[in-house]
């Protein structure tokens, strides 16, 4: 299978981390849809990444669907609980929080690259506040635990890591590490995982 994406997309990173963590063989094709010749338009009518192309040509999108599909392909590890509805909900809720951080950070990024006279500061402030509030929440929820949910790595951890990496990329002025030392310690532990090392090395 083939994963189409870009190195700066946090949603692509989440999908890539799932495939790497589960040791699922795939080719990673950097092909952002900003390129008018991107092949993604041949597979995903939305023209969005990530897009996972299966061997039979089926296209799986977007990142939550890719993550859930990929998690069914093997059991090492199981990233989304399968036999406990409440546990599954909690992992998916973590994913929603992480995706929300990504969503708001992208809104801020898009506003900031507009000409200064066209930027909507109220919109920037709204989404910066949403990110700050959500970081406060996830740091409190994480506490001193090793994993976001349960006693092993899950999609929750991979999604949150993707969101924090994107904040480092697009909001380097945000010192979330000093504000939340427990998140910083958790991030550093996650950074020792082989798949995470591969993903971080790919960032440009």
Q: What is the pLDDT of residues 60-83, one digit of tens each?
A: 999 999 999 999 999 999 999 999
Report how far apart, in Å, the C-alpha atoms of 47 and of each of 4, 32, 42, 118, 168 are. 11, 9, 8, 26, 26
Please give the pLDDT value at position 204. Answer: 59
SS (H, E, C) 37-96: CCCHHHHCCCCCCCEEECCCCCEECCHHHHHHHHHCCCCCCCCCCCCCHHHHHHHHHHHH
Using the structure block, give the residue that is written with the tokens 């801020």. 108
Question: pLDDT value at position 53?
Answer: 97
CB 71 within 8 A of CB 155: yes
Q: What structural domains does the chain harbor?
A: 2-71 (3.40.30.10), 85-193 (1.20.1050.10)
> Which CA distances in Å does 75 have to 53, 92, 187?
21, 18, 24
What is the per-residue pLDDT for 203?
76
Instruction: Look at residue 176 and give its three-state secondary structure.
Output: helix
Where the chain has pLDDT below 70, the residues are 204
- Whole-number Å distance between alpha carbons of 125 and 25: 41
Residue 36: what pLDDT? 87
């Amino acid at each position: 299978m083939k994963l189409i994406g870009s190195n700066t997309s946090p949603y692509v990173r989440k999908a890539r981390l799932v495939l790497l963590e589960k040791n699922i063989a795939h080719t990673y094709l950097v092909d952002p849809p900003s390129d008018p010749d991107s092949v993604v338009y041949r597979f995903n009518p939305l023209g969005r990444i990530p897009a996972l192309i299966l061997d039979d040509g089926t296209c799986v999108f977007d990142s939550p669907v890719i993550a859930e599909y990929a998690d069914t392909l093997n059991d090492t590890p199981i990233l989304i609980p399968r036999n406990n509805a409440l546990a599954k909900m909690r992992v998916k809720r973590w994913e929603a929080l992480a995706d929300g951080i990504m969503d708001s950070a992208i809104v801020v990024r898009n506003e900031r690259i507009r000409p200064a006279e066209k930027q909507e500061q109220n919109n920037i402030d709204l989404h910066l506040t949403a990110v700050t509030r959500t970081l406060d929440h996830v740091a409190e929820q994480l506490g001193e635990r090793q994993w976001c949910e349960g006693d092993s790595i899950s999609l929750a951890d991979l999604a949150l890591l993707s969101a924090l990496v994107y904040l480092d990329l697009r909001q380097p002025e945000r010192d979330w590490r000093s504000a939340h030392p427990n998140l910083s310690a958790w991030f550093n532990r996650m950074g020792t995982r082989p798949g995470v090392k591969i993903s971080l090395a790919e960032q440009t």
